[in-house]
Amino acid sequence: MTRNIKHYDLRASHPGHCAARRVQCRTGQHRRLPDPAFNLRRSRMEKTTRTAWHLGVLLAVTLLAACGGGSGGDDGTAPGIDFTRMLYPPTPLDDPFFDQPDPMPKLAPGTIIASREVRYAPLGIPMPNSAWQLQYMSTGLQGQPMAAIATVVKPLLPALTLNRPLVSFQFAINSAGLKCAPSQQVTGSYANTNSQLEALNYIPQVLALGWTLVFPDHLGPTSSVAVGRVAGPIVLDGIRAAKRFEALGLTADSPVGLMGYSGGGVATAWAAGMQPKYAPELDLRAVAIGGIPANLEATARAFDGSALFFPVMYGAVLSINRLFPQLVPPSLLTEEGKAMAESVKDGCLGGTTDGSAGPKGQMSDYTTVEDIYATPGARDVLPKISLPQPDVAPTADVYFYHQAADQLAPFAEMQKVADDWCARGSPVHVFKDFTGEHIVGAVTSAPSQLLYLESRFAGGALTLLPPGTKSCN
């Protein structure tokens, strides 16, 4: 059952305007005011059980003080993300819509907090499709509530399959800066060239195939690359939010698909693998994963030393470090490494935002150790954010597309994931392409992915796959 959700406009700045929506305006921050009905119920409870209540609170406060913290207030709020202790955190966007609510409401994952209409403009070209941005509840790395963002786009034509499919498209964001997120790129920004290159992979979906699209900012509010336990819930909760957003006209029977390449493939794979436990109610029909860097150490070593790809890797490592500070603690960065971290923390694809030259060479040029991937911190973190994982396996149908000569995401590492999922009963298809390498695969993967998704949405016995595809289960 869809909850009736009261939205407030985070763009409002006039106090009267905010008061009309029960929003508190304070130096650009917009918050819900306490619910009078809730306070009345709490007051009645206190009057009837006052003595027991005070004794319980006294005991709880004593215990919490001894333990050093709590899990939120009794006013319907919960602790959010602590940016104050984060290494090289991203600079917040100059738009309060993207701010984390303060205080953080205690709402179910997928619940819409706010929405607004936006201009859909991939490649900077305004399109006639109606589009909105949704802020919704999701789950952080440690299980804490957080707000996430997704952009949803309504198709102009009915779907060929007549059942209003919803596809979550995960961009290969690969960037430490929040300005590089999909919410910026599909509304006119040119900041992330990866996203511009991917435009032709999703534009046909809303122009010709009639699919509703959701573009989640799957790196989260910390813009942390390839952290699947953050990306997976954001993707799944974005789907939940989209299905609840009435303007899209989706139904309970609308089939769901996932699609992503490279870094977008990481988010797609984790979402698919987490879905059976995290969002079992979703009708996930098809998962298209291309060029996935499954083993993050192997991919990091492949990027290291590359004139073209090393800057991307430097920014990615920095962004992961925001959630796993043991990966590259400050003591392992040289002074040049620390300065470079400040320069790229808001950039796209490892670019700087202060006018300085970007990173070049290899990680050992910026660290006090020769092999940063062999440190205890790296040995602890990288296996945790790589696939396969013992608790991550899909039940939905999955199609892997991968170039045999992929120089950044080795085919053999993807095959380990496919084999693991096959062994656990997941229906998996693997297509090994011999036409190019990782960058070429970003283009050549799209046609077969689109055909695969469309055939799965049609619901027939035939799943369209390239000749030579190997399948299990």
Q: Mean per-residue pLDDT for 237-260?
A: 96
Q: How many residues does the chain have?
A: 473
Architecture (CATH level 2) of domain 296-384: Orthogonal Bundle (1.10)
Q: Which residue has the tokens 């941005």?
A: 133
Per-residue model confidence as pLDDT tens digits over 117-152: 999 999 899 999 999 999 999 999 999 999 999 999
Per-residue model confidence as pLDDT tens digits over 18-34: 333 333 333 333 333 34
Dihedral angle over CA of 356, 361, 364, 367, nearest 10: 0
Under a CB-based contact definition with an 8 Å cutoff, are residues 361 and 369 in contact?
no
Backbone φ, ψ for residue 4 (5° rounding): -75, 120
d(C-alpha 304, C-alpha 313), whole Å: 7
Confidence of residue 75 (pLDDT cuts 50, 70, 90): low
Sheet containing 256-261: give its strands across: 112-119, 130-139, 145-153, 212-216, 166-170, 256-261, 284-290, 397-403, 428-433, 470-472
Q: Kindly report the pTM of this predicted structure.
A: 0.84
Under a CB-based contact definition with an 8 Å cutoff, are residues 137 and 110 in contact?
yes
Question: Among 48-62, 89-103, 401-415, where is mean pLDDT lowest?
Answer: 48-62
Domain range list for the chain = 36-74, 96-295+386-472, 296-384
DSSP structural state of residue 360 = -
pLDDT for res 419 = 98
pLDDT for res 81 = 72
Per-residue model confidence as pLDDT tens digits over 319-377: 999 999 999 999 999 999 999 999 999 999 999 999 899 999 999 999 999 999 999 99
Among 123, 121, 120, 124, which residue's Cα sits nearest to residue 132? Answer: 120
Query: Beta-strand (E) ranges in 140-201?
Result: 145-153, 166-170
pLDDT for res 85 = 77
The CATH number given to 96-295+386-472 is 3.40.50.1820
pLDDT above 80 for 83: no
pLDDT above 70 for 37: no
At CA 267, angle to CA 262 and CA 272, rounded to 5? 120
d(C-alpha 2, C-alpha 250), whole Å: 12
d(C-alpha 13, C-alpha 30), whole Å: 8
Per-residue model confidence as pLDDT tens digits over 384-437: 999 999 999 999 999 999 999 999 999 999 999 999 999 999 999 999 999 999
Task: Quote the percentage of the chain above a pLDDT of 90.
Answer: 72
Among 216, 167, 233, 201, which residue's Cα sits nearest to residue 456? Answer: 167
The angle that helices 335-344 and 310-321 make with each other, rounded to 10 degrees, is: 90
- CA 255 from centre of chain: 20
Among 215, 329, 277, 290, which residue's Cα sits nearest to residue 449? Answer: 290
pLDDT for res 19 = 33
Per-residue model confidence as pLDDT tens digits over 198-243: 877 778 777 789 999 999 999 999 999 999 999 999 999 999 999 9
Q: CB neighbours of 415 closer than 8 A, spacing ≥ 6?
A: 430
Q: Mean per-residue pLDDT for 100-121?
A: 96
d(C-alpha 398, C-alpha 465), whole Å: 11
Question: Among 140-154, 161-175, 185-199, where is mean pLDDT lowest?
Answer: 185-199
Task: Give the 3-state secondary structure of residue 197.
Answer: helix
Question: Among 5-14, 265-274, 400-409, where is mean pLDDT lowest?
Answer: 5-14
The structure tokens listed for 311 are: 């800057």
- Domains 96-295+386-472 and 296-384 are alike in CATH topology: no
Q: Strand 256-261 and strand 166-170: pairing?
A: parallel
Per-residue model confidence as pLDDT tens digits over 282-306: 999 999 999 999 999 999 999 998 9
Among 175, 216, 195, which residue's Cα sits nearest to residue 353? Answer: 175
Dihedral angle over CA of 142, 147, 148, 153, nearest 10: 150
pLDDT for res 24 = 34
Under a CB-based contact definition with an 8 Å cutoff, are residues 231 and 278 in contact?
no
DSSP structural state of residue 325 = T
Question: Among 11-15, 81-85, 349-353, where is mean pLDDT lowest?
Answer: 11-15
Helices (H), 76-187: 182-185
Dihedral angle over CA of 43, 45, 49, 54, nearest 10: -60
H-run or E-run covering 277: helix 263-278
* Other CB atoms within 10 Å distance of the CB of residue 63: 10
pLDDT above 80 for 55: no
pLDDT for res 17 = 33
